[in-house]
Amino acid sequence: MQSLRLLLALASAALASQVQVTPVQKVVQLLENMKEKGTKEMQEEEVQYTKFKQFCDMTLAEKEAAIGEAADKIETLEADIEKAASEAERLGKEMSEHQTDIEAATAEKEKATGVREKGRTDFQLTLKDYGESIDAIARALKALKEEDKKTALLQLADAKLLPEEARQSLLDIQGPAPKTYEFQSGGVISMLEGLQDKFVDERISLEKEEQKKRHAFEMLVQSLEAQLAQSKKEQEEKGQFKAKQLQSKASSEGDLGETKVEKQSDEKYSTDLKATCSKKAAAFAARQKLRQEEIEAIEKAKGIIAGGAVAGSAEKHLPSLLQASPKRTALAFLRSEVREPQSESSRVARFLQQRAAALNSRVLSAVAGRAAADPIAKVRTMIEQLITKMQTQQNEEASKNGWCNAELASNKATREEKTDAVDELSSDADELSTAIGKLGEEVSALAKQVSELEADMAKATQMREEESAKNAATVKDAKEAQAAVAQALLVLRDFYKKAAGASSLLQTRHGEARAEPEVFGDEPYTGMGGESGGVISMLEVIQSDFAQLQAETEAAEESGLKEYQEFMEDSKVDKATKVRTSEHKTSKKQAKTQELTAVRADLQGTQKELDAAKAYFEKLRPDCLDTGASYAERQAQRKQEVADLQEALEMLEKELPGTTFAQVPRLISLVRAVDSTGTLMRVRRPIGDLYADALHRVRPDVQVSAREMTRVFPAAFSRQSTLSPGFGAGGCGCRDWWRAVVEGTMGGAGIAVSDLGESFEAVFDDLYGHVFCGQEAWELLPGTVTSLESLRRWCAANDCRLGVMSNMDDRLSVILQNLGILDKFDFVLTSYEARAVLPAEFRMWT
C-alpha cells in the first residue's frame, strides 16, 4: 500500500496543475512509458551486442589468420636460417681448401726457387771452368806454335777440364829432338784445337741448357703465381659470400624472434578476446532474459493498476482528496504517512537539488527526489548503494580508459612499425630488381666474352699448326744440308790429314843420308793447305749457318709451342673463370629473384597487417576517441557527484546519530593493475627524454633521438614483459629485467649498445638507481596529498589500514619516500614482491 502511495504521490506532484488527469491514469501512462523504454533499450542492447559479436568474429578470424601466417613465416625463416648456416659452413670448408692450395703452391714456388738458385750457381761455376779451359788452351796453342813447350805446359796447368791423356801428350813432346818435336807438336796442336772446339761447343750447349732451365723456371713461377692469385681471389670471394650468408642468417634469426613474439602476442590476445566475447555473450543472454521479465512484470502491474480494483477506487476517492488539499505536496503527504523526520531530509533534498543544478547531474536530481520522498534510513541505504555503484562504474570506466589507452598506443606503434616495414620492404624490392637487371647484363656480357675467347682459341690453334708444319720442313732441310756439308768436310779433312801424315814420313826418310833431287826444296809438302783452308772455312761457316738455322727454328718452334700452350692454358683458365663467374652470377640472380619474391610476399603480408591495424584503429575510434565528453571530464563529474552524495550521507548521519553504515564495505581503494601510476603519481616527462638526458650525461658525443626512444619503449617493455612477466620476479630479477628494456629501447632507436661498453653500465645505473627512484622522473597527481589525508582520517575513524598494491618492482617504497607520501600508508605491496601479477581491478579490504 505504501508503494502505491508513493506512485500516487509522484504522479500528483508532477501533475498538480493538471487535475483533469487522474493519478491512476498517470501511473498507467508511466508504466507504459517504462515498458516502451525497456523495450527500446532491450532492442538497442541487442543491436549493440550484435555489433560487438561481429567485432569478436571478425577480430578472431583476423587473429587466427595472422597466427597462421606467422607460423608459415616462422617455418620459412627457420628454413632460411638452416640454409644460410649450411651454405656458410660449405664456403668455410672451400676456403680452407683454397688455403691449402695457396700453401702448397707457395711451398712449390719456394722449392723451385731454391733448385733454380742452385742450378744457376752450378752453371756459373761450370761456365767459368769452360772459359778458363778455353783460354788456357788458346794460350797453350800459341806457345806450342812458338815451340815454347814449358810455357804451353804451364798454360794448361789451370785448364780444369783438360783430359789426362792431353796432359800426357804435352809431357811426351818435351824430350825428342827438334825434328821429332815438330812432328809430335803438330798432333798435340790438332788435339788441343779439337778440345778447344769441343769446349766451345759444350759451353754453347751449357748456355742453351741454362737458358731452357731458366725459361722453364720462369714459366713454372708464372703458373704458380697465377694459381696463387686465382686461389686467393676465389677465397676472398667465398669469404665475402660467407659473410653475406652469416649476415642473412643473423637477419633471419632477428626476424624469427620478432615473428615468434608477435605470434605469441596474437595468440594471447586471441585467447583473452575469446574469453571476453564468451563472457559478454553470457551476460547478454542474462540481461535480455532479465529485461524480458521486467517488461512482463511491468505489463502485469499495468494490468493490475488499470483493473477495476485500483482504477475504480482511484476514480472514486483520489480526485476529492487532491481537491480538498490542493496546496499540500505529495512528498509532504508521504512524509506524514510514514512519520519520518522532515528537517534533515528536506535539507538533504535541497542540497542535492542545488548540486544537481550546478553540475547538471541527472543522478543527483533523481536522488534528491527520492531523498525528499523516502524515509531517512531508506534514503541513506539508497545513497550508500549509489555511491558504491558509481565508484564501481568509475573504476570500470578507468579500466576501460586504460584498456583504450593501451590498445591505442599498441595500435599506433603497430601502424608506425608496419608503415616503416612497408617502406623498407619496398626499398629492398627496388634494390633487388636493380641488382637482378645488372646481373642479367653481366651474365650476357660474360657469355659474349666466352664466345669471343673460344673463337680466338680456334684461330690460335690453326696458326700454330701452320707454323709447326713450316718449322718442321725448315728443320728437315737444315739437317739434310748439315749432313751433306759434314760429308764434304769429312772427305777434305781426311785427305789433308793423310797429306800431313805423308809429309811427316818423308821427313823421317829425309833424315837419312840419301841424296835429294835438286828440283825440290827442303820444306816438306803438306798439300794445298792454304788454298783448301778457304773452302773448308766456307763449308764450316755454311755448316754453322745451317746448324744455327736448325737451332733457331727449333727454338722458335719450342717458343711458339710454349706460347701457344700458355695462351691456350691462360685462355682455358680465363674461360673457366668466366664460366664459373657466369654460373655464380646466374645463381646469384636466381637467389636474388627468389629473395625478391620473398620480399614481395613479405611486403604483401606486411601491407595486410598495416591495413588490419588501420581497420582496428577505426574500430577503436567510436569507443575510445569519439565518446563526447573526455574521460577526465566524466571522471571529475562522477567524482564530484560521489563527494556530494557522501556529504549528503554526513547530513543524514546527523539526523540519526549513533547509527552505522552496516551495509557499506570497508573499502580502502580501487587500484589499477598496471602500477601505481595514474592513481598516485605519473611520469613527469617522456621516457625518451629521460633516457637521452642520462646518456648525454655520460656520453655527450653520442647522437640519439629522444622521440624515437619514446616511440620504441612500449614495444621493448611489452617484449620483456612477455619473456619474463612480473618485472623478472622468480627469474632474472628486476635490475636485469630493466637492463633488457633499456637495451631494447636504445637498440630500437639505432644506438649500438655494444659500442658504448662501460658507458652503458654507467647510464643504466643512473637511470635505475637515481632517475627513476625520485622526482626527476615522477610527480604526484594533483590532489594526491589532500585525498590521502582524507583517507587517513577516514581509516582512523573506521579502524582500517591504508596501503598500496601495485604492479611494480621493489623500488616503489623508495619512490614513495622520495615523493614524500610513504608515511601516508600502513603497507606497500608490489607484484614483484608477491611473485604474482595483479588482475585488472581489485579491492583492498581490512
Closest CA to 477 of 554, 559, 555: 554
User: Lowest mean pLDDT: which of 294-303, 555-564, 727-736?
Assistant: 294-303
pLDDT at residue 577, rounded to an integer = 92
CB 153, CB 174: distance < 8 Å: yes
Q: What band does 613 get if pLDDT is binned at 50, 70 and 90?
A: confident
Same domain assignment for residues 203 and 64 = yes
Closest CA to 702 of 651, 782, 763: 763
The whole-number average pLDDT for the span 641-667 is: 57
665 pLDDT exceeds 70? no
686 pLDDT exceeds 90? yes
CB 767, CB 694: distance < 8 Å: yes
User: 399-441, pLDDT tens digit by residue?
Assistant: 667 677 777 888 888 898 889 999 988 999 898 899 999 889 9
Residue holding cell 749432313? 483
What is the chain's Cα-based Rg?
A: 59
Does any domain span residue 383? no
CB 484, CB 542: distance < 8 Å: no
Helical residues (DSSP H) of 307-342, grouped into ranges: 313-324, 330-338
pLDDT at residue 502, rounded to an integer = 55
User: Lowest mean pLDDT: which of 9-18, 157-166, 207-216, 826-835?
Assistant: 9-18
The whole-number average pLDDT for the span 287-295 is: 81
pLDDT at residue 500, rounded to an integer = 64
- Rounded Cα distance between 801 and 100, Å, is 80
What 3-state DSSP class applies to 61?
A: helix
Please report, in angstroms and rounded to a whole number, the separation of the first and last CA atoms in the chain: 42
Q: What band does 567 get if pLDDT is binned at 50, 70 and 90?
A: confident
Tally the C-alpha atoms within 13 A of residue 39's C-alpha that lie toward its C-beta: 11
* Pairing of β 667-672 and β 841-845: antiparallel
Of 303, 325, 341, which residue sits at a domain end? Answer: 303
Report percent pLDDT > 70 for the chain.
73
User: Lowest mean pLDDT: which of 55-64, 65-74, 182-191, 197-206?
Assistant: 182-191
Structural domain containing residue 608: 421-509+531-620
User: 363-393, pLDDT tens digit by residue?
Assistant: 777 777 766 665 555 666 767 667 777 766 6
What 3-state DSSP class applies to 18?
A: coil
Contacts 24+ apart (CB under 8 A), 463-466: 464/560, 464/561, 464/564
pLDDT at residue 220, rounded to an integer = 93
Q: For the whole model, what pTM was predicted?
A: 0.30
How is residue 434 written as a grid cell?
A: 636493380
Same domain assignment for residues 294 and 167 = yes
Q: Rounded to an integer, what is the distance from CA 221 to the centroid of its chain?
A: 45
Tally the C-alpha atoms within 13 A of residue 761's C-alpha that lie toward its C-beta: 2
pLDDT at residue 158, rounded to an integer = 60
How is residue 558 written as a grid cell?
A: 719450342
pLDDT at residue 5, rounded to an integer = 38
pLDDT at residue 143, rounded to an integer = 77
The whole-number average pLDDT for the span 286-295 is: 82
41 pLDDT exceeds 80? yes
Of 591, 620, 649, which residue sits at a domain end? Answer: 620
- Rounded Cα distance between 628 and 632, Å, is 12
Buried b (16+ CB within 10 A) or exposed e, 805-823: bbbbbbbbbebbebbebee
User: 212-251, pLDDT tens digit by residue?
Assistant: 999 999 999 999 999 999 999 999 999 999 999 999 989 9
317 pLDDT exceeds 80? no
pLDDT at residue 745, rounded to an integer = 94
- Tell me phi and psi for residue 664, to 5 degrees: -95, 115
Average pLDDT, the chain: 78
Of 559, 586, 620, which residue sits at a domain end? Answer: 620
How is residue 88 written as a grid cell?
A: 656458410
CB 579, CB 450: distance < 8 Å: yes
Q: 607 vs 366, 433, 497, 536, CA distance in Å?
A: 53, 19, 110, 102
CATH (domain of 548): 1.10.287
Cβ-based neighbour number of residue 346 at 10 Å: 15
**DSSP per residue over 550-609, as a string?**
HHHHHHHHHHHHHHHHHHHHHHHHHHHHHHHHHHHHHHHHHHHHHHHHHHHHHHHHHHHH
692 pLDDT exceeds 90? yes
pLDDT at residue 103, rounded to an integer = 93
Most confident of 154-163, 312-321, 362-371: 362-371
- Rounded Cα distance between 621 and 278, Å, is 23
Does any domain span residue 50? yes
Q: What band does 30 get if pLDDT is binned at 50, 70 and 90?
A: low
555 pLDDT exceeds 80? yes
Q: What band does 344 get if pLDDT is binned at 50, 70 and 90?
A: low
Same domain assignment for residues 299 and 432 = no
The whole-number average pLDDT for the span 70-81 is: 93
Residue holding cell 675467347? 453
Q: What band does 695 get if pLDDT is binned at 50, 70 and 90?
A: very high
What's the sign of the alpha-carbon dihedral 114, 120, 122, 125?
negative
The whole-number average pLDDT for the span 104-122 is: 92
Does any domain span residue 284? yes
CB 803, CB 844: distance < 8 Å: yes
Does any domain span residue 588? yes
pLDDT at residue 152, rounded to an integer = 64
- Rounded Cα distance between 844 and 825, Å, is 13
Does any domain span residue 386? no
The whole-number average pLDDT for the span 683-703 is: 92
Does any domain span residue 723? no
Helical residues (DSSP H) of 2-22, grouped into ranges: 2-14
842 pLDDT exceeds 80? no
pLDDT at residue 77, rounded to an integer = 92
- Rounded Cα distance between 114 and 118, Å, is 6
Provide the domain count of the chain: 2
Most confident of 647-651, 675-679, 756-760: 756-760
Does any domain span residue 480? yes
Report percent pLDDT > 90 for the chain.
27
Does any domain span residue 627? no
- Rounded Cα distance between 818 and 829, Å, is 17
User: 571-598, pLDDT tens digit by residue?
Assistant: 999 889 989 999 988 998 899 899 899 9
